[in-house]
Amino acid sequence: MMIKKTPKKRRPRKKNNYFTKVHEDAIVRYALTDSKAERTDLYINFIGPAFDEMVDKIVYTYKFNNLPNIDYLKDDCKLWLITILDKYDVSRKSKAFSYFSVITKNWFIHKVKQNSKKLKRDLHYDDLNDETEIEQFITENTYESNREQQEFWQHLFGEMDKWENLKLKDTERKVLQAIKILFNSTDDIEIFNKKAIYLYMREITGLNTKQIVNNLNRIRKRYRIFKVEWEKGNI
């Protein structure tokens, strides 16, 4: 006599109760308003708690919790999400939850790659036999890294010179020149954070923060194109 197997019941998918339409609407309102008070209120009451839960769940689901110092990384990721929150394009067809979930996942994937590179370097270091080999390894890697960085910045400065020859708006030209001044003055000035950079740029250009941000976004697009071409080896 054959015994019929009872088909397993599929587990119902858990509802996403922490990132609902209320939170979607809060992000849209955040992106559309210029009021600091309203943005603070929206973040504290709606967006922040949703981001906290989202980051924790993504870390758990994709096993990013194996990364060293994961608690610090989660905090860093949440801070980074705050800095790009107002960049969310409300005209996008994708929901804010999908948009920021993908960004968060990619952020941690990048950290995994960075950690893998570090582990490979550490393993190579452990395989070295004596002080001479260790010293040679450090010297070669430092030299190679420094040379690559130097070549990158030299080519970038050359590219920025080309950008100045383009038909730029007066405000964009001022911001581009300010960037070059800051790069060339790194030994003479102290830049501790993003706010300090904007402060220096306001003093150099005479523009307000909104004008600086808008023009930095235009320059950033050119920089991203340059970096992609550099990484492909086309420059």
All structural domains of the chain with their residue ranges: 21-114, 148-232
Phi and psi at residue 207, to the nearest 5° = -95, 160
Q: According to the model, what pLDDT value does residue 189 have?
A: 52
Lowest-pLDDT choice from 20-34, 43-57, 130-144, 198-212: 130-144
Q: How far is CA 117 from the centre of its chain?
A: 19
How many secondary structure helices (H) and strands (E) does the chain include? 9, 0
CATH for 21-114, options being 2.60.40, 1.10.10, 1.10.1740, 1.10.600: 1.10.1740
Q: According to the model, what pLDDT value does residue 120 have?
A: 61
Structure tokens at 72: 């610090």
Does 44 have pLDDT greater than 60? Answer: yes
Cα dist from 152 to 6, 158, 160, 223, 231, whole Å: 64, 10, 12, 12, 10
206: alpha, beta or left? (left if phi > 0; alpha if psi -120 to 50): left
Determine the longest span between alpha carbons in the chain, in angstroms: 89
Burial class (CB in 10 A: 0-12, 13-18, 19+), 59: buried
Helices of type H across the chain: 21-32, 36-42, 48-61, 70-84, 96-127, 131-164, 170-184, 194-205, 209-232
Summarised one tens digit per residue, pLDDT across range 174-215 is 888 888 877 766 555 555 456 677 777 887 888 888 888 888
- In the chain, what is the straight-line distance between the N-terminal and C-terminal CA atoms, in Å? 74
Structure tokens at 145: 């890294």
- Over range 39-68, report the average pLDDT: 91
Cα dist from 151 to 9, 10, 17, 49, whole Å: 60, 57, 49, 43
Lowest-pLDDT choice from 108-112, 201-205, 217-221, 222-226: 201-205
Q: Which residue has the higher pLDDT, 7 or 222?
A: 222
